[in-house]
Structure 1
Amino acid sequence: MALDQRASELLVFLKQAGAKSFELMDVHEFRGAVASAVGMQKPPQDVAKVHLVDIPGPGGALQARIYVPREQAPLSVVVYFHGGGWVGGGLDVVDEPCRALANRAGAIIVAPSYRLAPENKFPSAVDDAYAALTWVAQHIAPFGGNIDKLFVAGDSAGGNLAAAAALIARDRNGPKLAGQILLYPVVDAKSDYPSMQEHAEGYFLHAAALSWFWDHYLSSADDRNDPYASPIAGDLAGLPRTLIITMEYDPSRDQGEAYGAKLAAAGVDVRVARMDGLIHGTFWSSGAVPRAEELYEEMANFLRTQPG
């Protein structure tokens, strides 16, 4: 399918504005570029309540926001991890999409922070993600959450953390998950897929930027084989039902779809939805790329649909 017109216009705008590819930035520049993504979003929707909480983490308190929609409790609960290559991103940049998803799905969305690289290398972010998931499972009921309908989700590097948290929960007999939602997830540190060459440049996220992220995140070459860093390297049996959403014009597309295929081979109930014509980062770009609404709807449908 042809590149979405609004996505194309966004790419032209960024080029004309002199935006550099992420791998050409230093860490400070990259974090500023990610923070500016709020300018590509629609005005944030109202929800019934936003609770600001601090979650105890292994390296200190983790700030989190709990978005509660105007729905009758108890509600499904989604622990949502923001993207940003493990190096950038934060709660502000996912505020608008988390509000939109809470309203669209009628679910509580919990967005926790986590320690960023390179100051905090792997497995710091994974440890924080699992600590946040455990806290939510133990404390969300008074907010109106139903722990029998507990999900993890995330975009890009956040999708990686969601997948890792699901693996740890299975391995440690931790919180029982009803499902996981992975938006264009980065799940393979040794990725060498056709989409890495096919869409190496020109579509917001460059293949070289993926290498830049991994180099900042991991401490050693051995980390690339760790399933909590590269979930595709792990045993995937026994994981919860899964929705994976990939973008057609995205160098990370094929690794997300390969993860879906491996999940299916392990007996996991999985749906892989490729969004034709769209690019990495669409979830954060509702104002610039209106088809971001399609991602919200896919996620909401998955959250509403019960297995069996």
Structure 2
Amino acid sequence: MEGTPVHVGMMQDMIRASKHRAVYVKYRLAPKHPFPTALMDAYHALLWMVEHSDFLKIDPKNITLAGDSAGGNLCASVALYARDHKGPHIKKQLLIYPVIDVRQTSDSMKMFDDTPMWNSVLNKAMWEQYLKNGDLGMLKYASPILADLHDMPKTYIE
């Protein structure tokens, strides 16, 4: 999913190592486009992918979603949304340091408010921007850790 050249390169390396086909999804970003815009962009990309699976030469029953950070959030959210709305079957997920918990109540969120790269202060600001229009009754899709996770795809979290 969306990312900087470093993130894109990391995903390309993983795709090459997996020897599978990949579809790279660009989605609209907060704060200009708050929740649920990115979720809907990503979900509609999944629907398009399945609809065009012959053209893409992919098996629509063997889809793995992968993403890091906000992209990891979107992968988990799209899988959850697809499950709840009888959408395409997602076989697996690869979530790399996914942003999945709006509550920010973990010990690390309480302790690390001044770390240099990312910290609880920045995390709080990110969630406020992402949810600036509220959760629209869809909080579990913004913060998938809050959802009932039954029947979710096999998931690897790094």
**Global fold match (TM > 0.5):** yes
Confirm or deny: 8 A CA contact 1:159 1:181 kept in the other structure: yes
Deviation at 1:93, TM superposition (A): 4.4
Structure 1 letter corresponding to 2:36: P
Structure 1 letter corresponding to 2:142: A
Deviation at 1:197, TM superposition (A): 3.0
Confirm or deny: 8 A CA contact 1:190 1:224 kept in the other structure: no
Structure 1 letter corresponding to 2:9: E
Q: How many residues align?
A: 158
Deviation at 1:159, TM superposition (A): 0.8
Aligned mate of 2:112, from 178, 190, 199: 199
Distance change >3 Å, CA 225–CA 133, structure 1 → 2? closer
TM-score norm. by structure 1 comes to 0.48
Distance 2:17 2:95 in 1: 17
Deviation at 1:224, TM superposition (A): 8.8
Confirm or deny: 8 A CA contact 1:181 1:243 kept in the other structure: yes
Matched, 1:171 2:122: no
Confirm or deny: 8 A CA contact 1:155 1:184 kept in the other structure: yes
Deviation at 1:199, TM superposition (A): 3.3
Structure 2 letter corresponding to 1:232: I
Matched, 1:226 2:139: yes
Confirm or deny: 8 A CA contact 2:29 2:38 kept in the other structure: yes
Deviation at 1:198, TM superposition (A): 3.5
Greater radius of gyration (CA): 1
Aligned mate of 1:97, from 5, 10, 19: 10
Distance 2:106 2:155 in 1: 22
Distance 1:172 1:224 in 2: 15
Deviation at 1:225, TM superposition (A): 6.8
Distance 1:225 1:194 in 2: 26
Aligned partner of 2:49 in structure 1 is 136
Distance 1:153 1:197 in 2: 28
Deviation at 1:240, TM superposition (A): 1.0
Structure 1 letter corresponding to 2:107: P
What are the within-5 Å matches in structure 2 for residues 109-258 of structure 1?
109-220=22-133, 222=135, 226-245=139-158
Gap runs ≥5 in structure 1? 1-80, 83-88, 246-308
Structure 1 letter corresponding to 2:91: A
How high is the sequence identity, in percent, across the aligned residues?
36
Secondary structure of the residue that 1:147 maps to in structure 2?
coil
Aligned partner of 1:26 in structure 2 is none
Distance 2:62 2:138 in 1: 31
Distance 2:149 2:41 in 1: 21
Gap runs ≥5 in structure 2? none
Structure 1 letter corresponding to 2:73: N
Deviation at 1:221, TM superposition (A): 5.1
Distance change >3 Å, CA 132–CA 221, structure 1 → 2? closer
Q: Which has the higher contact order (CA 8 A, sep 6+)?
A: 2
Distance 1:131 1:93 in 2: 25
Secondary structure of the residue that 1:134 maps to in structure 2?
helix
Aligned partner of 1:255 in structure 2 is none
Large movers: runs of 4+ above 2 Å: 92-95, 140-144, 197-203, 219-225
What is the RMSD of the two structures over their aligned residues, measured on CA atoms?
Answer: 2.0
Confirm or deny: 8 A CA contact 1:223 1:229 kept in the other structure: no
Distance change >3 Å, CA 160–CA 96, structure 1 → 2? same
Distance 2:24 2:70 in 1: 14
Confirm or deny: 8 A CA contact 1:137 1:150 kept in the other structure: no
